[in-house]
Amino acid sequence: MKELPPQYNPQAVEEPRYQWWESRGLFQADPDPKKRPYTIVIPPPNVTGILHMGHALNNTIQDILIRFKRMQGYNALWVPGTDHAGIATQNVVERALAKEGKTRQDLGRDAFIQRVWQWKEQYGNTIIYQLKRLGASCDWRRTRFTMDEGLSEAVLEVFLKLYDAGLIYRGNYIVNWCPRCQTALSDEEAPRQQTQGKLYHLKYPLEGQPGTFLEVATTRPETMLGDTAIAVHPKDPRYKALIGKRAVLPLVNRPLPIIADDVVDMAFGTGAVKVTPAHDPVDFQLGKRHQLEFLNVMTGDAHMINVPKPYEGLDRFDCRSKLIVDLEQQGFLGPIDEHQHNVGHCYRCHTAIEPRLSPQWFVKMKPLAEPAIKAVKAKTIRFLPDRWTKVYLNWMENIEDWCISRQIWWGHRLPVYYCQSCPEGKNILVAKTRPAQCPSCKGDDLKQDEDVLDTWFSSWLWPFSTLGWPKRTKELAHFYPTNTLVTAQEIIFFWVARMIMAGYFCMKRPPFTRVYIHGTVRDMTGKKMSKSLGNIIDPLEIIKQYGTDALRYTLVTSTAIGQDIFLSEERFTAGRNFANKLWNATRFALAQPEAGKQRAAVRPDTVPDRWILSRLQRTIARVTDSLEACLFNDAAGALYDFLWHDCCDWYLEIAKIQRGRSREILLHVLETSFRLLHPVMPFVTEELWQHLRPAAAKSQASIMTAAWPKPSKRLIDDKTEEQFELFKKVITAIREKRAEWNISNDRKIPTVWLVSKNTAIRDFLGSQQALLKVLAEVNTVTPLEPKAFHRQNDVTTTILDGVQVVIPMGGLIDVDKERARLQQRVNELMQHVSRLEARLADPQFTGKAPKEVIEGAEQSLAQARETLKAASEHLAVLQAM
Ligand SMILES: [Zn+2]
Ligand SMILES: [Zn+2]
């Protein structure tokens, strides 16, 4: 083994080490009936994806779990892959085409899809390479893509199964429509945003009663061109007499029946509403109940059709402006109010949604939801943190049918064919491949549906389609159901809930047993990281500057379970410093002289030896429990405390004094702790472990497959821990006095008395004299009974539990000099305090300065007063000497 270089250089270590692991097949898992499986499927990032901090967090957590379980001896499989991301990917390629001045229509469907595949080949693996830089130990042989052959087969299979079960249907429906992407969107894909709009009051003349109007209010005046009724509440006294009569649509002169329906809110606007069944979801239901005409007045890209000439072909918003002018001129316009309302926006391009009537395909969700609700209620599947259980159940119990057709080109095309010779409604064929002929008329003029399936219609099969379903593979039998799903809250409905439903429908078993929902990555002010805010921290930049381990360590220590993460770039220095500390500690341990020829079994001889081994056992138990419970910050924090404080601050210093067996114990403690730390910081731990590993390990051994440590109850020693705590406190007390009294570090304190009436404490501290003397830099340490101790004036005392640490100051400091120094310091502080007081009493300042400045001054004053108090007290002690 080569010697450890003096400094840790993650850039030199990480990439070669990753290749070393990968080339030895250490990430691979194959079905093995002798081993217990542990499986995670990656939430497939979009092929268009670039690694951001959210991915870094999500995949670090998965990698921690997989590495932990692998070391515990499980057959640990992490299945990677990417999602074809229908609309997102199509948009990317369309934008590229636009730069060449072309549209997808110019290319035609087949050529466009080819173009997307080309794009995928060229750029689609970016995120995979980036996940490797993160250290992800996925079985890359098993990388899947939601449009690959096997997964496409799974999509067809489930579509047919659902169709045969009567759970897929086609219907005219009001859908969320993005006029820019020209496709239907599910409710989850069209999140509502508070939007400042206007509420327009329009006056509709009553038929046969010149000069009388019914006033209605709308936020989208252009939809009036599609009105086919006016609705009022049946009990509204203002309109009772009008029910059954007719109004006239202004500018168009179409008569509109006045209907009564409970859905109308009497308190909103005037209590009368215009009804546009083809362009509003509530009006759609009204239209169905009252058999109204469904008049479609907009094209897919939101231009007006089926309307009078002056408006024909106008964009929806241009039409709105023109209508307002025309209505005003002809006396049909009432007041226009400012109005806040929620408008759905396309989650891909942020265009305002237009509700639109169109033929779409749906999945009936209620029957699928039933077993998925039961499983979570019965805790067959658990959410972590538990608060998501309620959110999930609430959504599932009110689930609506899922619109699965999308009017785009990139995706799984619907396996639906329409016979052109048979009558509409009776001409639908559903089949995996194009049927040769129509079974009823035997004709062969079959046209495939133009639509593709929602992207989530392939990813909801991910936990079993990636393992080979619908084929009954060995992988499926061994690795399904998977264990923990690690994901973000935004996709609980999009993805997690649907996977549970698909799992029960296709496999009759849950897709996973635990769902860990992690928080959102934010900046220090709590804002979500986004390009437009310019507050993004790029994980690849952090890896370059601080190393992957630093990135991973800081991410997991920055969040409690399920809580959001607040990041600034400086925080990553903590991770880098920790890696450096471990490096230096290992170099130190290896440089210690060896006690014997052979490395014997670790045998503790002294109190510090027994203490560090006892602390190690507790750390093993704590880290193991924390990782089992997904308390990642707790596991990393426990290791930091143990390694940095117990091990480096204390034991390492003691080892310098003890020599002998300390080296063996130190090496054992480091080697064991690095195994515990490996899942969080895989690179530095492997690098150091290669220098520390037991002599019995094979030359090609890796920490990745070393056994997970188990705590030894025999080595847990409460009494020793208690004694050592006291030992630490005594040393700390002496060091604090040294700082307080300004005694330089190269000057030894002549003597320290440890006064205690407890014989056991005196005996113990007496037995540690050699260590105490070196660590506290004292010439003699004398335990004393209280009666043997004669109180003197020139001493300084620290009272600890069970013992008083007494330092005689005579001769240690030059009392006169120290008194003069302190007196000067007190004077300075008094001046400082009065300056601040005067400033804060000055109305010129308090009246004009910003609030933060005044608060800052108040804080400075409080702090200065405190320092002054401490210095004065100290001076009083000196003056008494
Ligand atoms: Zn859009
Ligand atoms: Zn036919």
Q: Is 243 helix (H, G, I), strand (E, B) or coil?
A: coil
The Cα 342–Cα 192 span in angstroms is: 5
**Closest ligand to residue 178's CA:** 1
Average pLDDT over residues 400-426: 91
pLDDT at 37 over 60: yes
Which run of H or of E encompasses 175?
Answer: strand 168-178
**Closest ligand to residue 418's CA:** 2
Q: 169 - beta bridge partners?
A: 362
User: Quick one: CA dihedral 697, 700, 703, 704, positive or negative?
Assistant: negative
The Cα 130–Cα 126 span in angstroms is: 6
Q: Which residue has the higher pLDDT, 184 or 120?
A: 120
The Cα 459–Cα 485 span in angstroms is: 13
Give the least confident one: 377-381, 588-592, 681-685: 588-592
- State the burial class of residue 597 (Cβ atoms within 10 Å of its Cβ: 0-12, 13-18, 19+): exposed
- State the burial class of residue 246 (Cβ atoms within 10 Å of its Cβ: 0-12, 13-18, 19+): middle
pTM: 0.82
The Cα 554–Cα 358 span in angstroms is: 50
The overall average pLDDT reported for the chain is 91
pLDDT at 595 over 70: no
Residue 323 neighbours by CB under 8 Å, 6+ apart = 221, 222, 224, 225, 251, 311
Predicted confidence at residue 462, as pLDDT, reads: 97
The alpha carbon of 178 and the centre of ligand 1 are apart by a number of angstroms equal to: 5
Residue 613: band (very low, low, confident or very high) from pLDDT cuts 50, 70, 90 = very high
Retrieve residue 373's tokens.
């609700």
Among 64-78, 293-307, 648-662, top mean pLDDT goes to 64-78
Retrieve residue 10's tokens.
């993650």
The alpha carbon of 92 and the centre of ligand 1 are apart by a number of angstroms equal to: 12
The alpha carbon of 116 and the centre of ligand 1 are apart by a number of angstroms equal to: 18
The Cα 435–Cα 343 span in angstroms is: 43
Average pLDDT over residues 663-671: 92
pLDDT at 652 over 90: yes
pLDDT tens for 344-403 read 998 878 899 999 888 899 999 999 999 999 999 999 999 999 999 999 999 999 898 898
The alpha carbon of 8 and the centre of ligand 1 are apart by a number of angstroms equal to: 48
Q: Which residue has the higher pLDDT, 749 or 144?
A: 144
Residue 599: band (very low, low, confident or very high) from pLDDT cuts 50, 70, 90 = low
The alpha carbon of 441 and the centre of ligand 2 are apart by a number of angstroms equal to: 4
The alpha carbon of 86 and the centre of ligand 1 are apart by a number of angstroms equal to: 12
Strand pairing report for 229-232 and 81-82: unpaired
The alpha carbon of 439 and the centre of ligand 2 are apart by a number of angstroms equal to: 7
Q: Give the side-chain half-sphere CA count within 13 A for 163.
A: 17
CB 246 within 8 A of CB 255: yes
The alpha carbon of 433 and the centre of ligand 2 are apart by a number of angstroms equal to: 17
Predicted confidence at residue 696, as pLDDT, reads: 67
Q: What is the DSSP string of 379-429?
A: TSSEEESTHHHHHHHHHHHT---EE-EESSSSSPBP-EEEESSSPTTS-EE
The alpha carbon of 437 and the centre of ligand 2 are apart by a number of angstroms equal to: 8
Residue 228: band (very low, low, confident or very high) from pLDDT cuts 50, 70, 90 = very high
The alpha carbon of 176 and the centre of ligand 1 are apart by a number of angstroms equal to: 10
Whose tokens are 């497939």? That residue is 44
The alpha carbon of 57 and the centre of ligand 1 are apart by a number of angstroms equal to: 28
The alpha carbon of 428 and the centre of ligand 2 are apart by a number of angstroms equal to: 9
Average pLDDT over residues 49-64: 93
pLDDT at 1 over 70: no
- CB under 5 Å of ion ligand 1: residues: 178, 180-181, 346, 348-349, 351
Average pLDDT over residues 568-588: 93
* Percentage of residues in the chain having pLDDT higher than 70: 98
The alpha carbon of 425 and the centre of ligand 2 are apart by a number of angstroms equal to: 11
The alpha carbon of 447 and the centre of ligand 2 are apart by a number of angstroms equal to: 11
pLDDT tens for 504-525 read 999 999 999 999 999 999 888 8
- State the burial class of residue 322 (Cβ atoms within 10 Å of its Cβ: 0-12, 13-18, 19+): middle
Query: Which phi and psi angles does 291 have, rounded to 5°?
Result: 45, 50
Identify residue 133 by its one-letter amino acid code. Answer: R
Residue 834 neighbours by CB under 8 Å, 6+ apart = none
pLDDT at 76 over 90: yes
Retrieve residue 106's tokens.
């110019």
The alpha carbon of 424 and the centre of ligand 2 are apart by a number of angstroms equal to: 10
**Closest ligand to residue 429's CA:** 2
CB 451 within 8 A of CB 406: yes
The Cα 569–Cα 536 span in angstroms is: 10
pLDDT tens for 158-169 read 999 999 999 999
Closest by CA to 365, choosing from 233, 244, 186, 534, is 186
Q: Is 616 helix (H, G, I), strand (E, B) or coil?
A: helix
Predicted confidence at residue 61, as pLDDT, reads: 97
Average pLDDT over residues 678-684: 98
Average pLDDT over residues 79-100: 90
CB 558 within 8 A of CB 566: yes
Average pLDDT over residues 36-45: 97
CB 466 within 8 A of CB 458: no
The alpha carbon of 413 and the centre of ligand 2 are apart by a number of angstroms equal to: 21
The Cα 466–Cα 841 span in angstroms is: 72
Q: Cis check for the bond before 385: say yes or no (omega within 30 of 0).
A: yes
The alpha carbon of 174 and the centre of ligand 1 are apart by a number of angstroms equal to: 17
Q: Which residue has the higher pLDDT, 614 or 208?
A: 614
The alpha carbon of 190 and the centre of ligand 1 are apart by a number of angstroms equal to: 9
The alpha carbon of 451 and the centre of ligand 2 are apart by a number of angstroms equal to: 21
Give the least confident one: 112-126, 189-203, 663-677, 808-822: 808-822
The alpha carbon of 358 and the centre of ligand 2 are apart by a number of angstroms equal to: 23
pLDDT at 592 over 90: no
CB 166 within 8 A of CB 174: no
Q: 77 - beta bridge partners?
A: 39
Residue 45 is classified by DSSP as P
Q: Is 794 helix (H, G, I), strand (E, B) or coil?
A: coil
pLDDT tens for 700-747 read 799 999 999 999 999 999 999 999 999 999 999 999 888 887 888 788
The Cα 595–Cα 663 span in angstroms is: 8
* Percentage of residues in the chain having pLDDT higher than 90: 66
Residue 565 neighbours by CB under 8 Å, 6+ apart = 57, 519, 520, 521, 522, 555, 558, 559
Predicted confidence at residue 334, as pLDDT, reads: 92
The alpha carbon of 346 and the centre of ligand 1 are apart by a number of angstroms equal to: 5
The alpha carbon of 427 and the centre of ligand 2 are apart by a number of angstroms equal to: 6
Q: Is 501 helix (H, G, I), strand (E, B) or coil?
A: helix
Q: How many CB atoms lie within 10 A of CB 816?
A: 10
The alpha carbon of 173 and the centre of ligand 2 are apart by a number of angstroms equal to: 25
Q: Any idea what the Cα angle at residue 584 is, between residues 582 and 585, rounded to 5°?
A: 65
Average pLDDT over residues 103-119: 92
Q: How many CB atoms lie within 10 A of CB 375?
A: 20
Residues 837-876, buried b or exposed e (16+ Cβ, 10 A)?
eebeeeeeeeeebeeeebeebeeebeebeeebeebeebbe
Residue 596: band (very low, low, confident or very high) from pLDDT cuts 50, 70, 90 = low
pLDDT at 601 over 70: no
Q: 416 - beta bridge partners?
A: 430
pLDDT at 148 over 80: yes
The alpha carbon of 775 and the centre of ligand 1 are apart by a number of angstroms equal to: 68
